[in-house]
């Protein structure tokens, strides 16, 4: 079973009470009506052996679990409100390790005024698993979806990409909550996603949700210092396909992108890496010649 096929099937099922659910399954968060307000909500799990090496310090596991949820909230330009978490601990898991997971969850949430308000703990025969649900509220400019990209938009990213697994970046990244809100308030992106599974795959998700294609300039893709020096094509393919970068990928009108790249207001560099085009093809332009850009990255085989 492939993750994306299963998720596609879920999307075909719709949701109960669709009038109360402005954004259902298929984006970084769902949006649900709550009286006159809106609740933005997301859920992520973190599994030993899948999302982190079992040798990783428990405190970093807690941090990453919370920050992944917060990164999805950032992708909607929403404001975190609170979180709940579950811990499935292997039998014999030491109390001090459980405390360290909790403290990691706490410090990551507290950094964004997102209190951990509850959860559940169980022991089992499997590996360590931490699941986090983050509730949020829309920012003053509303939410930003994957589906709003328009032909002519510039494609922009925060930060740099590739080899996040080599160092500790995949464990210690900062979710782009403040950056996303500033973008939404001042530059009005048409679409946005956080890059968890890989730049090319998450760009494909924006293209598919928006019914558009994209042209990416190979020389404009910011490549992380974590990517080993050497052959440019190998470095570029790490940036496009490795994943776990937790940066923002977004599209906005070209003149807004020009202003954003000139002003660099986020504290983290913003790069313009290409354009949205009509159609559904993703193209990589290297040395002036186009070739297909294949979505490539992390997808669970179940």
Which one, 28 or 244, has the nearer CB to Mg ion?
28
Helix (H/G/I), strand (E/B), else coil: 238: helix
Measured from the CB of residue 213, what is the shortest distance to Mg ion in angstroms?
21
Which one, 153 or 194, has the nearer CB to Mg ion?
194
28 lies in the binding site for Mg ion (CB under 5 A): yes
Which one, 25 or 54, has the nearer CB to Mg ion?
25
Handedness of CA 235, 215, 298, 160 (dihedral sign): positive
From the list 49-57, 62-70, 188-196, 217-225, the region that binds Mg ion by CB under 5 A is 188-196
Give the list of residues 6+ apart from residue 302 with CB closer than 8 angstroms, or none.
Answer: 1, 2, 3, 6
Return the residues of window 2-21 that contact Mg ion according to CB under 5 A. none
Helix segments in the chain, DSSP class H: 3-12, 58-75, 95-110, 169-172, 177-187, 199-210, 232-241, 254-263
Exposed, middle or buried: residue 130 (CB in 10 Å: 0-12, 13-18, 19+)?
A: buried
| Crossing angle (nearest 10°) for helices 177-187 and 254-263 | 130
Handedness of CA 295, 12, 67, 95 (dihedral sign): negative
For Mg ion, what does the binding mask look like between residues 196 and 215, x meaning CB under 5 A? x-------------------
Distance CA 105, CA 101 (A): 6
Distance CA 209, CA 199 (A): 15
Handedness of CA 184, 190, 193, 195 (dihedral sign): negative
Which one, 248 or 260, has the nearer CB to Mg ion?
248
Q: By CB under 5 A, how many residues form the interface with Mg ion?
A: 4
Measured from the CB of residue 196, what is the shortest distance to Mg ion in angstroms?
5
244 lies in the binding site for Mg ion (CB under 5 A): no
From the list 8-16, 143-151, 187-195, 230-238, the region that binds Mg ion by CB under 5 A is 187-195
As beta bridge partners, residue 271 has 157
Handedness of CA 186, 188, 194, 198 (dihedral sign): negative
Distance CA 190, CA 210 (A): 10
From the list 27-35, 94-102, 265-273, 288-296, the region that binds Mg ion by CB under 5 A is 27-35
Cβ-closest position to Mg ion: 28
For Mg ion, what does the binding mask look like between residues 100 and 139, x meaning CB under 5 A? ----------------------------------------
Among 194, 226, 244, 245, binds Mg ion (CB under 5 A): 194
From the list 69-77, 146-154, 212-220, 239-247, the region that binds Mg ion by CB under 5 A is 69-77
Measured from the CB of residue 286, what is the shortest distance to Mg ion in angstroms?
27
Distance CA 108, CA 65 (A): 9
Which one, 26 or 142, has the nearer CB to Mg ion?
26
245 lies in the binding site for Mg ion (CB under 5 A): no
From the list 1-9, 45-53, 72-80, 282-290, the region that binds Mg ion by CB under 5 A is 72-80
| Crossing angle (nearest 10°) for helices 58-75 and 177-187 | 10
Which one, 165 or 298, has the nearer CB to Mg ion?
298
Among 27, 72, 226, 247, binds Mg ion (CB under 5 A): 72
Site residues for Mg ion per CB under 5 A: 28, 72, 194, 196
């Amino acid at each position: 079973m492939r993750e994306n096929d299963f998720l596609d099937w879920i999307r075909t099922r719709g949701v109960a009470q669709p009038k109360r659910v402005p954004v259902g399954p298929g984006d970084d968060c769902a949006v649900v009506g709550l009286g006159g307000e809106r609740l933005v909500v997301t859920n992520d799990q973190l599994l030993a052996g899948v999302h982190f090496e079992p040798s990783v310090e428990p405190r970093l596991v807690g941090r990453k679990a919370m920050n992944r949820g917060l990164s999805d909230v950032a992708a909607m330009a929403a404001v975190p409100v609170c979180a709940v978490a579950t811990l499935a601990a292997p039998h014999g898991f030491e109390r001090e390790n459980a405390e360290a997971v909790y403290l990691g969850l706490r410090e990551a949430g507290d950094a964004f005024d997102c209190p951990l308000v509850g959860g559940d703990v169980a022991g089992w025969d499997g590996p360590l698993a931490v699941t986090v649900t983050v509730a949020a509220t829309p920012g003053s400019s509303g939410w930003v979806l994957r589906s709003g990209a328009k032909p002519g938009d510039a494609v922009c990213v925060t930060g740099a990409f590739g080899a996040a697994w080599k160092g500790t970046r995949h464990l210690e990244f900062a979710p782009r909550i403040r950056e996303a809100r500033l973008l939404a308030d001042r530059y009005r992106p048409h679409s946005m996603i956080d890059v968890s599974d890989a730049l090319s795959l998450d760009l494909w998700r924006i293209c598919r949700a928006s019914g558009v294609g994209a042209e990416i300039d190979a020389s404009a893709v910011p490549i992380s210092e974590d990517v080993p020096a050497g052959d440019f094509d190998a470095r570029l393919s790490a940036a496009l396909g490795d994943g776990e970068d937790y940066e923002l990928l977004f599209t906005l009108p070209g003149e807004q992108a020009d202003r954003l790249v000139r002003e660099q207001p986020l504290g983290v560099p913003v790069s313009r890496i290409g354009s949205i085009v009509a159609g559904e093809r993703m193209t990589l332009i290297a040395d002036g010649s186009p070739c297909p850009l294949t979505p490539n990255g992390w997808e669970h085989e179940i």
